[in-house]
Amino acid sequence: MIVYQCEDSLESIFTAIYNAYEEKRDHDDTIISLNQEWLLFAQYVPVIPMEEKVLKVIRTLKRRFGEEDYMTICYALASPSEDKAQAVYGTVVEGLRGKYAKGHLFDNLVNDDIHKVFSLSRGAGNESHHLLGFVRFQELENGVLFSRIGPKNNVLTFMMPHFADRFSGENFMIYDEGRGIFGIHPAGKAWYLLQGADILKEAVDENPGGWELSAKEKEYQELFCHFCHTIAIKERYNTKLQRNMVPLRFQEYMIEFVNY
Amino acid sequence: MEYLATGQEMSLMEKLEILTDAAKYDVACTSSGVERQGNGRDMGNCIKAGICHSFSSDGRCISLLKILFTNECIYDCKYCLNRRTNDVPRASFTPEEVCTLTMEFYRRNYIEGLFLSSGILKSPTYTMELIYQTIFLLRNKYRFNGYVHVKAIPGADAEIIRQMGFLVDRMSVNLELPTAEGLRNLAPNKHRKNILTPMRQIQNGIHENKNELVVYRNAPRFVQGGQSTQVIIGATPENDFQIINVAESLYRKFELKRVFYSAFVNVNEDKDLPALPGGPPLLREHRLYQADWLLRFYGFKAAELLDEKRPYFNVLLDPKEDWAVRHLEYFPVEINRAPYETLLRIPGVGVKSAKRIVAARRSTCLTFPDLKKIGVVLKRALYFVTCGGRMMYPTKLDEDYIVRNLTSDKDRVKFGSDGMTYKQLSLFDDSKFYLQPLPGDRLQVVSGQM
């Protein structure tokens, strides 16, 4: 039994898959693991992510499974679950065995690994879609739009293209608090991610001492909160339904709930 | 353009409060149906699936900035808060105010777009011109590329409606009351002809536009997101059968995207309006939405769900379960063989589950644990399906037995935030209203045994 030990990143897991195929392992007897548990009678192989290997794997997956199924795998890898690496490995092995047409890999939900990847991907995809609506920007003094999010899945990468397309002429920044990643978009230019920027993180945590909101910002926040409260029909009050639709973990970042 | 003097002394906050409060009974809320990428120059894009930005305390989605341009109105519709004879504070926006609000909210990602309706100032055509001015400003000067939904005012000139169609993503006209008689009673200034004419015009415009697009790919788009309408439930005595028939013919004849059902909320104490002591008819609205979904996605017809003898929906079972229980001759359905249209009719199987079943059964024979993975609600479906010839638990295909299990206490629909469930009162303690007498019972009655 061989166990590949990866860190929690897409590059690392794809490198592990590449290694498993390159070293011609018996796929039923190989595990890709993220955690540090030690099994008896297993041989542990550490994995060092390498760019060319990752690119080759991506090309193969896109060619064999099609764009959509490849994106499903990427969404699954954005989830926080510990089993994602093994589930994705199992799915890739099953898919490369050759019985599936492009775009139909996730038809066979009877297979456990495929079902697991499908459900992780669905969870991450749903959270990403919810966040497209729940992200709230604040205008800072220098005109930059700043937003904080705290998602369970690592979905910042999937959200940025949407906002870059929508607000192509604006400077904006989205901060994933749990992971310390910044998504940055300068006006009229391409967006990028910034990770491990401790100086920026400190400045954000000291807010409002770090960054001031612009003058009009307070006014628009109040207008919007008032709009949300006025639009409710009193005879149909149903806070339970409201909480079902907007779970509490999103509400703490949304201005109309914070000031309720 | 003249605005009333009082309008200009009010703060933006006050105006927003009055005009949002006035618009909230229009339940159209979607921002879906249009896929339009940003063009690098304007601000905004549209997503086909639509995005819900927030949810209000009544649980409804907030996706658009839903406001009236003005709540001045020359009409006197009895159900409306803004009727001419009501003494409510009146306000009007200026076009610049509407545009600024929309843009500033949009760039903070509070909304997906604008929903603009209006009370009728001076005349329908005059009001439409004001709205047109606002949207023109929004699109061309403020360069807004997001979603715009505008209400067409019934009775406005055809040309202004045509021009408006090129600026907006969705245009709708409210039917308000399901029958012409109801409309005559409660909204004497509105005529059915005035409502249906713009609907027909928009429908024809959309068709013509599709043909133009075939010839010239960059032709301007006309009402890309289609049309919708709204029907008020509970203000007039129409039964569910009449309402669902109206909805079905609207979908067929006018090719609407959506019909919205709005439970009547009593805001005016008018003698022609029902008192509704139990509050707005929320369960009835819910059943109508369920039936609406069945018409649009599950291939049902209105005549299958209700008929003259049973004109109201079942309170305890949803329309699909109700149909299945009355038509047990179609069941049990074999999951591994039945065609897609039959799978859709199984309670507990939705459109997504049916598609996944059809895809998954190509590679393996499905069993009940597999169905659970796929997402079928086995709690409801188990009475109606077989896998490889076997049912999940031995079940009699008997109406009483199935209904008793489907409506056991813990499965009953909970409606309203206080957890109260709707239950129709009956002299009989089993409250089963929909059961027809069995043929054996009929014979017994005739022969005198009962």
Chain A, nearest residue to B44 by Cα: A166
Q: Which residues in B lie closer than 8 A to residue A238 (C-beta atoms)?
A: 57-59, 416-417
Q: Answer whether residue B436 shows pLDDT above 90.
A: no
Could you tell me which CATH number the domain at A135-213 has? Answer: 3.30.1300
Same domain for B397 and B289: no
- Contact check, Cβ <8 Å, A235/B51: no
> CB neighbours (10 Å) of residue B216?
8
Residue B312, in any domain of the structure: no
Would you say residue A209 has pLDDT above 90?
Answer: no
Same domain as B82, residue B9: yes
Residue in A97, A189, A233 to test binding to B, most B beta-carbons within 10 Å: A233
Q: In which band, very low, low, confident or very high, does the pLDDT at B404 lie, cut at 50, 70 and 90? A: confident
pLDDT at B416: 44
Beta-carbon separation of B58 and A232 below 8 A? yes
B311 lies in some domain:
no
Q: CA B355, CA B360: separation in Å to the nearest integer?
A: 9
Residue A73 has pLDDT above 70, yes or no: yes
Assess contact for B113 and B65: CB atoms under 8 A.
Answer: yes
- Same structural domain, B301 and B325: no
Residues from chain A that touch B41, judged by Cβ atoms under 8 A, are: 169
- Find, among A37, A41, A39, A34, the residue nearest to A9 by Cα: A34
Q: Would residue B339 count as lying in a domain?
A: yes
Cα B102 from Cα A223, distance rounded (Å): 12
Has residue B126 been placed in a domain? yes
The pLDDT, as a whole number, for residue B422 is: 47
The residue of chain B nearest to residue A112, with distances taken between CA atoms, is B373
Q: Provide the domain count of chain B.
A: 2
| Residue-level pLDDT at A137 | 94
B83 within domain boundaries = yes
Q: With CB atoms and an 8 Å threshold, state whether A107 touches B356.
A: yes
CB contact under 8 A, A236 and B60: yes
Q: Do A224 and B47 touch (CB under 8 A)?
A: no
Both B268 and B335 in one domain: the answer is no
Position B310 in a domain: no
Q: Which member of B44, B60, B279 has the closest CB to residue A235?
A: B279
The answer to whether the CB atoms of A226 and B16 lie below 8 A apart is: yes
- A 10 A CB-CB count for A216 gives 10
For an interface test with A, the pick among B54, B64, B417 (most A C-beta atoms closer than 10 Å) comes out as B54
For testing contact with chain A, the best of B25, B105, B110 (most A CBs within 10 A): B110
* Domain end among B305, B331, B355: B305
Indicate the average pLDDT of chain B: 88
Pair B291, B361 in one domain: no
| Co-location of B427 and B296 in the same domain | no
A242 near B CB under 8 A: yes
A233: CB partners within 8 A, 6+ apart: B24, B25, B58, B60, B265
Decide if B287 contacts B323 (C-beta within 8 A): no
> Could you tell me if residue B157 is inside a domain?
yes
Residue B113, domain CATH: 3.20.20.70
> What residues does CATH 3.30.1300 cover in chain A?
135-213
Q: Which of residues 61-120 of A touch B (CB under 8 A)?
A: 99, 104, 107-110, 115
Residue range(s) defining the domain that contains residue B171? 5-305
Please indicate whether, in this complex, the C-beta atoms of B56 and A110 are within 8 angstroms of each other. Answer: no
d(CA B355, CA B343): 9
Q: What is the pLDDT of residues A146-197, one digit of tens each?
A: 999 999 999 999 999 999 999 999 999 999 988 999 999 999 999 999 987 7
Point out the least confidently predicted range of A110-119, B77-86, B386-395: B386-395
What CA dihedral angle connects B341, B343, B346 and B350, to 10 degrees?
Answer: -90
Mean pLDDT score, A243-247: 92
Torsional sign, CA B29, B30, B34, B35: positive
Q: Are residues B361 and B251 in the same domain?
A: no
Q: What is the ipTM of this complex?
A: 0.92
Cis peptide before A208 (omega within 30 of 0): yes
